[in-house]
């Protein structure tokens, strides 16, 4: 599937190899490549039932949109968690100040 080449990652997609320079640690770059391959595979499976075969571009766009959607949901959850933590911390500080 893909293998690290120093600071480069090679990924095979639609029977063609693509090599890119990893900006992140090799481990993170490998995980990102795996995520893309998994999502492309899921989209291909979902679209395989269609009467006309989807284009590579369609598959990649849908995979990218799925990944972006999941990223957006995680950002929202993270933002909510930070807000909740901040509110809880402020409440605890008020309680502690009241005891002093």
Among the listed residues 76, 46, 72, 73, the one whose alpha carbon sits nearest the alpha carbon of residue 59:
46
pTM of whole model > 0.85? Answer: no
| C-beta of residue 64 within 8 angstroms of C-beta of residue 96 | no
- Label residue 49 by pLDDT band (50, 70, 90): confident
Determine the Cα–Cα distance for residues 91 and 89; give it in Å rounded to an integer. 5
pLDDT, tens digit (0-9, with 9 covering 90-100), for 61-77: 999 999 999 999 999 99
Which residue would you say has higher pLDDT here, 98 or 1? 98
Percent of the chain residues past pLDDT 90, beyond the cut: 69
């Amino acid at each position: 599937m893909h293998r690290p080449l120093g600071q480069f990652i090679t990924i095979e997609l639609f029977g063609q190899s693509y090599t890119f320079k990893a900006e992140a640690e090799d481990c993170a770059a490998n995980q990102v490549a795996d995520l893309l391959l998994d999502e492309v595979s899921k989209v291909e499976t979902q679209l395989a039932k269609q009467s006309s075969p989807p284009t590579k571009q369609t598959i990649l766009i849908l995979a990218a949109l799925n990944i972006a959607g999941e990223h957006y949901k995680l950002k929202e959850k993270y933002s909510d968690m930070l807000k909740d933590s901040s509110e809880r911390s402020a409440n605890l500080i008020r309680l502690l100040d009241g005891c002093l």
